[in-house]
Amino acid sequence: MILVGMIIFALIVYLIYSEDSNKCTCEMENARVKCYNCGHLIKDDFIYCPKCKVELKEKCKGCGKFINITWRNCPYCNAPNV
């Protein structure tokens, strides 16, 4: 009887652990892109690279929203990114 209880307990612990191990706890797992300057993994909404400090986004002069520094035009208002 004790053996059956221990097996059930072990199964429950295994199911809980395997469910938690599938969840991502590492913040860098959410990174989608690399810094164009140093290759460090960054999130899409970063304005500066935390490793090399290069500017990744700047405010659009037309609408004021942050856009990628390499884009030629703002996707929100079509203002040129010069």
Residues spanned by the domain of 48: 31-81
Count of domains forming the chain: 1
In a domain, 22, yes or no: no
In a domain, 38, yes or no: yes
In a domain, 18, yes or no: no
pTM over 0.75? The answer is no
Q: Which pLDDT score, from 0 to 100, does residue 28 have?
A: 47
CA-CA distance, 66 to 68, in Å (whole number)? 7
In a domain, 25, yes or no: no
In a domain, 50, yes or no: yes
The identity of residue 27, as a single letter, is E
The 3-state DSSP class for residue 19 equals helix
Q: Give the model confidence (pLDDT) of 23-36 as tens digits.
A: 555 554 555 789 99
Going by the DSSP 8-state scheme, the letter that residue 6 receives in this structure is H
**CA distances (Å), origin 58, targets 31, 69, 70, 74, 77:** 20, 6, 10, 11, 14
